Amino acid sequence: MRNALASAFHLVLFSGLLAAQSLDPSLILKPLSDSWPTYSGDYSGKRYSALTAVSQSNVKNLTLAWVGRVTGGPGNSGGVQTSVGGVGSGEAAGGVTIKGSILQVDGILYVSAPDNAWAVDARDGHALWHYFWRTRGGTHIGNRGLGMWKDRLFMETPDNYLISIDAKTGKELWHVEIAEFDLQYFSTMAPIVVGDHVLVGTGNDLDEPGMLQSFEPETGKRQWVWYSVPMKEGDPGLETWKSLDAAKHGGGQMWVPGAYDSETHLYIAGTGNPSPAYTSQSREGDNLFTCALVAINVDTGKLAWYYQTSPHDTHDWDSTETPILVDAQFNGMMRKMVLHASRNGYYFTLDRVSGELLASSRYSDTANWAKGISAKGQPIRDPEKDFHIGGSLVSPNNTGVTNWPPPAFSPDTGLFYVPRYDSYAMYYLTETDPRGAMGLGGKEEAGLGSLGSHLVAIDYKTGRIVWSHLYPAAAGATMSGLLATAGKLLFAGDNAGNLIAFDPANGNILWHSRIGQVSNAPETYMLDGHQYILAAAGDMLFAFTLY
């Protein structure tokens, strides 16, 4: 009788959860607290939660609440039937790795990996439904997460479709192609929903133009497209390219979500490297608007301002890292700012209304590719650190000082937090044809080791590093994303497989648990009076709470 009552209770609870699965887009405008409704939790990109149930005073008592595992592919997943869609006939080889953000709305977690999406009960980690996309192929490097609008979810696929999924059932509602598969585009970005706009970006490692697009959430109709490089005569920035043809094939991919300012209606995001990435003689000039922060009006798709963090990049150091929006004091005045740490090893504080530079610095101890900082605050490229037949010793290596895993900001400390990897490599020119190479070709890279991986805290007013935590020695970079909370905690993963809670004021370790290599950025949510800390390690989900 007891089991029957428990089963009946769970059925009622499950039915209630399904009935409640809907997100009012205006919820994302509120400061981050109980739920996690978009990529960074809210539009600001801070990844700062107002929850305080888990705090410095009790974090030592944080314990494992549940562990869940997701299974990809066309078969059943976690005991639930899989809904299958797609236009291809195959599935990607290899296992599931959860790299993206996980949404939490109405007690349901929405999880994704390339070609797969799941709904998971946020109380105990069991799967509720699974969706699988049969792919045409393409680059399956990762998926950054899902977007949500009312009772619909949105996901990008590696073969360049935007899919709309019913959040209650996992059934596909529609799909539309967002880039040409035959041109070697691939799509990994988490869609960002702003009002009635679904914003999507794409990747490409060949020589196609980067773009940001907006789609209508009910029908999938495209509303506008903004290209990150000039596409015709008269387009802004064309004078910074050798020719129109070079610009039209100039890259600048937009594959990491940005941040949104509801007061100005500006979506602020980073753009990727120019193409060809390394043999740059065919694209003389600064190459706008690659390797830049750009502010796009979400209603019109028009550029409001830009700031280029790496003019004429020659090392594939994308500036796509998620920016953070902050309203705070700067030189005695309240300013609306955007904070950004770039892959090239330089940090920037800008006015987010105008794009005016307020502060910049080199936040890597080893970055040696620039001769200094210009009057505009931009690093000045040293041509001697480009690729040469005899090799050139350059820092950082291709991974960059940081990469796509998201940073965080705490209003309590006024500090910006970012993972940092200090590395060296020898870069060799392998294509001597004066026309250069296409895409990522034309060079070989030999890694020479590093000075380690750090978690660093940066003062946004000066760009100065306030504290730095060196992770245990290990091969490769530690690039876990971050989470800050009002409980005066900062969560990250290290390269020894630990999920760690730091004191955000000084970097002291307050708690840790070994769960395996943390593959996404930690998150937090509140259910039934309990605050949960959530992180993924490969295909596993780990949720911690206080009891």
Domain of 457, CATH number, reads 2.140.10.10
Residue 8 lies in a domain: no
pLDDT top residue among 4 and 92: 92
Rounded Cα distance between 395 and 422, Å, is 7
pLDDT top residue among 93 and 418: 418
* Letter string b/e over residues 368-393, b meaning 16 or more CB atoms within 10 A of that residue's CB: bbbeeeeeebbbebeeebbbeeeebe
Residue 25 lies in a domain: no
Asked if 120 and 70 touch (Cβ cutoff 8 Å), the reply is yes
Residue 467 lies in a domain: yes
Residue 242 lies in a domain: yes
Rounded Cα distance between 504 and 502, Å, is 6
Residue 459 has pLDDT above 70, yes or no: yes
Work out the pLDDT band at 545, boundaries 50, 70, 90.
very high
Asked if 130 and 118 touch (Cβ cutoff 8 Å), the reply is yes
Number of domains in the chain: 1
**3-class DSSP assignment, residue 60:** helix
Average pLDDT of 361-374? 96
Predicted TM-score (pTM) of the model is 0.95
pLDDT tens digit sequence for 319-332: 999 999 999 999 99
Asked if 504 and 490 touch (Cβ cutoff 8 Å), the reply is yes
Work out the pLDDT band at 20, boundaries 50, 70, 90.
low
Work out the pLDDT band at 474, boundaries 50, 70, 90.
low
Domain span holding position 252? 37-545
Residue 279 lies in a domain: yes
Asked if 267 and 304 touch (Cβ cutoff 8 Å), the reply is no
Residue 6 lies in a domain: no
Asked if 165 and 152 touch (Cβ cutoff 8 Å), the reply is yes
Q: For residues 297, 355, 236 and 344, what is the CA-based torsion angle, rounded to 10 degrees? A: -110
Phi, psi of 266 (to 5 degrees): -105, 130
**Eight-class DSSP state of 375:** T
Residue 290 has pLDDT above 50, yes or no: yes
pLDDT top residue among 7 and 161: 161
Residue 72 lies in a domain: yes
Residue 31 lies in a domain: no
Residue 5 has pLDDT above 50, yes or no: no
Asked if 74 and 82 touch (Cβ cutoff 8 Å), the reply is yes
**Eight-class DSSP state of 235:** -
Average pLDDT of 394-409? 96
Rounded Cα distance between 28 and 35, Å, is 9
pLDDT tens digit sequence for 215-258: 999 999 999 999 999 999 999 999 999 999 999 999 999 999 99
pLDDT at 300: 97
Work out the pLDDT band at 90, boundaries 50, 70, 90.
confident
pLDDT at 352: 97
With a CB cutoff of 8 Å and minimum separation 6, the contacts of 484 are 46, 47, 48, 49, 408, 409, 410, 417, 490, 491, 504
